[in-house]
Amino acid sequence: MAETEAAAPTRRDRKKQQTRAALMAAALRLVDERGLEHVTVEDISEAADVSPRTFFNYFATKDDAVLGGPLPNGPSMHDRLLAVPADVPLVPAILQAMSADIAEIQSERDFWLTRLRVIRNNSSLLPLLIARGECAEQETVTAVAARTGLPADSLFPQLAATLTGAAFRTAMMRWATAGDNLYDLVRETFQVLETGLAPTHQEVMR
């Protein structure tokens, strides 16, 4: 019963989804073409065929339309990380917990490449992306704490979350520049994290 309800989007639901997608596509395209400072909310709304007031029913800020919402639905990072078998070392476990997100990004490659290019070309957007990531990292903190038996407010779980987040973002930006397979890039950065940041055994890296 509850499943049937969730599976049957109404015309309303569909129209909302379409409007949201249109706004995001318009924002991304226009900012890609002209730069963030030269695109107004009115421009974006016009391109998506809604009023500016409606824009703000979908996005709190202009930047949000460019950056898009969080990655959709699915189980939380917390649940995914705890679902990885306990005998998997921590960093590979985090990678595994992220693999669905990574696959989704890879499957929408063109869209994401545009988005990341826009972020790179409009410098005010990257800190926003990073800050977003850091807020979402709280789920990772609590999951790492649960896996390791450490208190959530101790250094290690927090560090694990922020460092894997930073490594992931670094891999993303490299993928956007000249990468093929996002998963491989993330795995590579995570390996550095796992073994330690020392050039002695990293100098063979490209």
Partner DNA sequence: GTAAAAGTTTGCAGCCTCTGCAAGTTCGGT
Partner DNA sequence: ACCGAACTTGCAGAGGCTGCAAACTTTTAC
Closest approach, Cβ 4 to its own copies, in A, equals 38
| Residue 51 φ/ψ, nearest 5 degrees | -80, 155
91 touches, from its own copies, DNA, none (C-beta below 5 to 8 Å by class): its own copies
Minimum CB distance to its own copies smaller for 46 or for 194: 194
Burial class (CB in 10 A: 0-12, 13-18, 19+), 115: buried
Closest approach, Cβ 81 to its own copies, in A, equals 13
12 touches, from DNA, its own copies, none (C-beta below 5 to 8 Å by class): DNA
Q: Total residues contacting DNA (rule CB under 7 A)?
A: 22
Using the 8-state DSSP alphabet, how is residue 85 labeled? -
Closest approach, Cβ 24 to its own copies, in A, equals 20
Closest approach, Cβ 176 to DNA, in A, equals 24
Burial class (CB in 10 A: 0-12, 13-18, 19+), 108: exposed
Query: Which 2-21 residues touch DNA, going by CB under 7 A?
Result: 10-13, 15-16, 19
Query: Which 22-61 residues touch DNA, going by CB under 7 A?
Result: 39-42, 50-54, 56-57, 60-61
The torsion of the CA quartet 133, 130, 100, 164, rounded to 10 degrees, works out to -80
Using the 8-state DSSP alphabet, how is residue 200 labeled? G
7 CB neighbour count, 10 Å cutoff: 7
Q: Are 63 and 129 in contact (CB under 8 A)?
A: no
Residues at the interface with DNA (CB under 7 A):
10-13, 15-16, 19, 39-42, 50-54, 56-57, 60-63
